[in-house]
C-alpha cells in the first residue's frame, strides 16, 4: 500500500550539479557519522509491522513512483515521510509542515534512529530500541506565507545511546558552507556536504542554499560545515523530484535549473524549551 507522502512544493529541491548524496553511515567522514546517529526518520505507523524484537518497515519502490531502475539508490525503498534531529535527550526538531492535525499527526509517526544503510543485514528492520513515539507536540509553527516552519516533538522516553546535536540559533551569511543529513524521498539516510548559503532573509527566518535535497528531506538538519552545529532546518525548495528521461517513459532524479534553490529555516525563532542543550556533552 502506498501511503501519503509529504511531497508538496514546500519540500522540493533536486540535484544542484552532480549528485552529492552518499550513505551517511558508511561513506560520510567519521565525525559526521557520529552526528548522523542523532538524525531521525519520521515513519508513518501504517508503514511498520511489529515483529519479534522490533519492526519491519514496509514502504514502496522508486519504480512504483515511475523512476528508472538504474538510477542512484534505485534498489532502495521509500519509507520515511520526513526527517528530524535529536536536540535534547527527549526532543526532536523537524519542519512544521511535516505534522498536521489530520493525516500527519504527531502520534501517527514513529521517530526512528538508524534507518540507514550499512548497519544491519536488513536495513528495513529496526529494533525496539531504535523506535520512539510522540508524547507531546511542544512547539508547532507552519506559516502558509512561507516563513516559520518548525516543530518540536517530545518523545515517549529518554534517548540514552547517542548525543543531541548542537543548535546554533543565529543568522547566516552568503557563502557559508553547509552540510545536511536526512532522508531524500524517504530513502535510507544520506549525507551531503557541498552546499553553501546563497542568500538570507532574516525577516522571513529563511536562507536559500544549494544542497541536494528532495521531498521528505523536509525537517532534516542543516549544519555549518566547519563548526558541526545545526544552523537550520530544511523546509522547502524549487525544481521537481523527478525528470523524464529523454526517449523513455521512466524518470531520473530531478535536476535544479538556473534560479532554483532549496530553503532552510533559521533557528532564531525557537523558544527556550526545557532540555535544549547548549553544547554536546
- The closest of 17, 202, 38, 44 to 110, measured between CA atoms, is 44
pLDDT at residue 181 tops 60: yes
Q: What is the pLDDT of residues 124-162, one digit of tens each?
A: 999 999 999 999 999 999 987 778 999 999 999 999 999
For 265-275, the pLDDT digits (tens) are 999 988 876 65
Of the candidates 277, 274, 265, 268, which has an alpha carbon nearest to the alpha carbon of residue 165? 277
Whether residue 184 contacts residue 213, with contact meaning beta carbons closer than 8 Å, is answered with yes
Q: Which residue has the cell 534517548?
A: 159
What are the φ and ψ backbone dihedral angles of 190, each rounded to 5 degrees?
-125, 155
User: Higher confidence at residue 68 or residue 4?
Assistant: 68
pLDDT over 50 (residue 1): no
Residue 276 is predicted with a pLDDT of: 57
Gap between the Cα atoms of 164 and 85, Å rounded = 8
Domain boundaries, the chain: 37-155
What 3-state class would DSSP assign to 81? Answer: coil
Q: In whole angstroms, give the CA distance from residue 254 to residue 14.
A: 5
Model pLDDT, residue 65 = 84
Class of 37-155 in CATH = mainly beta
What is the per-residue DSSP string for 135-198? EEEEEEEE-TTTS-EEEEEEESS---SSPPPPB------TT-EEEEEE-GGG-S-EEEEEEEEE
Of 125, 94, 92, the closest CA to residue 276 belongs to: 92
Backbone angles phi, psi at 67, to 5 degrees: -85, 150
CB of 273 closer than 8 Å to CB of 281: no
Please list the residues that pair with 149 across neighbouring strands. 142
Judge whether residue 66 has pLDDT over 50. yes
Tens digit of each residue's pLDDT (9 = 90 or more) over 186-226: 999 999 998 999 999 999 999 999 998 888 889 999 999 99
CA atoms of 218 and 215, how far apart (whole Å): 6
Residues 6+ apart with CB under 8 A from 279: 166
The CA angle 146-152-158, to the nearest 5 degrees, is 160
Amino acid at each position: 500500500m502506498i501511503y501519503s507522502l509529504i511531497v508538496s512544493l514546500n519540500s522540493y529541491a533536486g540535484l544542484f550539479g552532480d549528485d552529492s548524496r552518499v550513505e551517511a553511515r558508511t561513506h560520510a567522514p567519521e565525525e559526521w557519522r557520529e552526528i548522523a546517529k542523532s538524525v531521525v526518520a519520521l515513519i508513518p505507523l501504517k508503514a511498520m509491522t511489529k515483529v519479534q524484537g522490533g519492526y519491519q518497515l514496509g514502504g514502496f519502490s522508486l519504480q512504483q513512483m515511475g523512476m528508472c531502475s538504474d538510477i542512484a539508490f534505485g534498489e532502495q525503498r521509500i519509507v520515511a515521510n520526513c526527517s528530524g534531529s535529536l536536540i535534547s535527550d527527549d526532543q526532536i526538531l523537524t519542519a512544521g509542515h511535516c505534522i498536521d492535525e489530520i493525516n500527519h499527526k504527531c502520534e501517527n509517526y514513529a521517530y526512528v534512529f538508524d534507518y540507514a544503510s550499512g548497519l544491519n543485514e536488513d536495513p528495513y528492520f529496526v529494533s525496539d530500541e531504535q523506535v520512539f513515539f510522540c508524547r507531546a507536540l511542544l512547539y508547532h509553527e507552519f506559516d502558509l506565507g512561507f516563513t516559520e516552519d518548525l516543530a518540536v516533538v517530545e518523545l515517549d522516553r529518554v534517548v540514552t545511546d547517542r548525543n543531541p546535536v548542537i543548535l546554533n540559533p543565529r543568522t547566516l551569511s552568503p557563502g557559508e558552507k553547509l552540510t545536511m543529513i536526512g532522508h531524500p524521498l524517504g530513502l535510507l539516510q544520506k549525507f551531503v556536504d557541498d552546499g553553501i548559503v546563497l542568500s538570507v532573509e532574516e525577516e522571513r527566518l529563511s536562507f536559500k542554499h544549494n544542497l541536494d535535497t528532495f521531498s521528505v528531506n523536509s525537517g532534516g538538519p542543516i549544519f555549518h560545515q566547519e563548526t558541526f552545529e545545526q544552523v537550520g532546518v530544511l523546509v522547502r525548495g524549487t525544481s521537481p523530484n523527478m525528470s523524464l528521461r529523454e526517449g523513455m517513459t521512466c524518470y531520473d532524479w530531478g535536476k535544479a535549473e538556473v534560479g532554483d534553490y532549496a530553503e532552510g529555516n533559521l533557528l532564531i525563532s525557537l523558544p527556550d524549551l526545557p532540555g535544549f542543550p547548549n553544547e554536546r556533552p
